[in-house]
Amino acid sequence: MNTSAYIGRFAPTPSGYLHFGSLVAALASYLDAKACGGTWLLRMEDIDPPREVPGAQTAILKTLESYGFEWDGELVRQSQRYAAYAAVLDRLFSQGLAYACTCSRKQLEDHHGIYPGFCRNAGHAQHAAAIRLRVPELEYHFADRVQGEFRQHLGREVGDFVIRRRDELYAYQLAVVIDDAWQGVTDVVRGADLLDSTPRQLYLQELLGLPQPRYLHVPLIIQPDGHKLGKSYRSPPLPADQAAPLLIRALHTLGQSVPSELSDARPHELLSWGIRHWDASRIPRRRTLAEAQLR
Ligand code: GLU
Ligand code: ZN
């Protein structure tokens, strides 16, 4: 690997504050980038204003700072990137690779989340419709650095998926692919909840002629009862005065055993220890980890 060319990123969504699971993802992407002298970018994925929690963007930046993270270059906000998304969407639509869908939620409710293709050949106009990407009847696969081989049949397991919603907001799948390529991201390190989005992203990269980054999906931290952190229930912001102990806990979660001499270290010292000792092969090869199982 040409280590100087490594470009990683952390891409939080301001639909809530950072929680312990986001800390684990941020830490993994930061250490993986910095351990090989790479660049670590920060991108605010603020493309869904109705779901944005007021103050979350500022709180996320503050938390990252108080936990000792320093990003390279300017923060990118996806809300400033609509023109780029629109250009790609128009191209996909005019090439017939994407189409407008006017189906109601009710019409789709019996289809288990896999779009049955009702509007595929209807030729609806874009206005007041969702835009879906036509998927091929093919299996996409990739080798994740932690989770191993992952495969998904786009036709059978996903179906034609939305790239712009009916309310004209762009979908995560489209924005993430465009921006990772635009920012030159070589390595995507994120939570394993996005493992099953990756084949959709691989297909978009292929369609748009974009390079495919390497992927590393860290275990998703779940509540003891199996629920996801943060999204379903509103977790409070990570406390600034708990930065050091929570960083130690996050390092342990990632299989990096912090020596006990560091139990009183400050965030910066913990991060620099983490950079010097980073070993991605120690990350547990699991999709989820319950918070209670952690020390
Ligand atoms: N914004 C996404 C999230 O917070 C992460 C996107 C990504 O890392 O690809 O879940
Ligand atoms: Zn439809």
Mean pLDDT of 62-82: 98
Instruction: Compute the CA torsion angle 24, 268, 36, 58 (nearest 10 deg).
Output: 60
What confidence tens digit (pLDDT) does each residue in 15-28 have?
999 999 999 999 99
Same domain, 72 and 203: yes
Same domain, 90 and 153: yes
Mean pLDDT of 258-280: 97
Ligand 1 neighbourhood includes 219 CB (under 6 angstroms): no
User: Does position 228 have pLDDT exceeding 90, yes or no?
Assistant: no
- Which residue range forms the structural domain that includes residue 195? 7-81+178-294
Give me the helices (H) in 52-171, please.
56-66, 82-94, 105-108
User: Does position 231 have pLDDT exceeding 70, yes or no?
Assistant: no
Same domain, 281 and 141: no
Mean pLDDT of 99-127: 95
Return mean pLDDT, the chain.
94
pLDDT-based confidence at residue 232 (cuts at 50, 70, 90): very low
Mean pLDDT of 85-102: 98
Q: Is 173 contained in some domain?
A: no
Q: Is 256 contained in some domain?
A: yes
Same domain, 183 and 283: yes
Integer angstrom CA distances of residue 210 from 67, 180, 213: 34, 9, 9
Same domain, 206 and 232: yes
Same domain, 75 and 90: no
pLDDT-based confidence at residue 64 (cuts at 50, 70, 90): very high
Ligand 1 neighbourhood includes 13 CB (under 6 angstroms): yes
Per the listing, tokens 């390092």 go with 251
pLDDT at position 291, please? 79
Residue in 190, 193, 214 to alter for ligand 1 test, most ligand atoms within 8 A of Cβ: 190
Residue in 42, 183, 194 to alter for ligand 1 test, most ligand atoms within 8 A of Cβ: 194
Beta partners for 97? none
Same domain, 199 and 67: yes
Which residue, 116, 140, 164, sits at the end of a domain? 164
Mean pLDDT of 48-70: 97
Q: Is 62 contained in some domain?
A: yes
Mean pLDDT of 204-220: 98
Residue in 44, 176, 232 to alter for ligand 1 test, most ligand atoms within 8 A of Cβ: 176
Question: Taking a C-beta distance cutoff of 8 angstroms, is the pair 20, 291 a contact?
Answer: yes
Which residue, 124, 142, 164, sits at the end of a domain? 164
Binding residues: 9-13, 45, 101, 103, 115, 119, 172, 190, 231
Same domain, 18 and 118: no
Q: Is 172 contained in some domain?
A: no
With H, G, I as helix, E, B as strand and everything else as coil, classify residue 38.
coil
**Which ligand has an atom closest to residue 166 CA?**
2
Q: Is 170 contained in some domain?
A: no
What number does the ligand 1 atom closest to the CA of 45 have? 1
Separation of 101 CA from ligand 2 center, angstroms? Answer: 4
The percent of residues in the chain predicted with pLDDT above 70, rounded, is 95
What confidence tens digit (pLDDT) does each residue in 140-158 have?
999 999 999 999 999 999 9
Same domain, 281 and 194: yes
Separation of 153 CA from ligand 2 center, angstroms? Answer: 21
pLDDT at position 233, please? 52
Choose the weakest-confidence range: 8-17, 32-41, 177-186, 285-294: 285-294
pLDDT-based confidence at residue 227 (cuts at 50, 70, 90): confident
Total structural domains within the chain: 2
User: Does position 295 have pLDDT exceeding 90, yes or no?
Assistant: no
Binding residues for Zn(2+): 101, 103, 115, 119
Separation of 71 CA from ligand 1 center, angstroms? Answer: 16
pLDDT at position 237, please? 81
Mean pLDDT of 47-74: 97
pLDDT at position 293, please? 54
pLDDT at position 223, please? 82
What confidence tens digit (pLDDT) does each residue in 32-57 have?
999 999 999 999 999 999 999 999 99
Same domain, 22 and 146: no
pLDDT at position 248, please? 97
Q: What is the distance between the alpha carbons of residues 33 and 112, in angstroms, rounded to a whole number?
A: 38
Mean pLDDT of 45-73: 97
Same domain, 60 and 188: yes
**Which ligand has an atom closest to residue 130 CA?**
2
Find the CATH number of the domain harbouring 120: 3.40.50.620
Q: What is the distance between the alpha carbons of residues 70 and 66, in angstroms, rounded to a whole number?
A: 10
Ligand 1 neighbourhood includes 179 CB (under 6 angstroms): no
Same domain, 66 and 182: yes
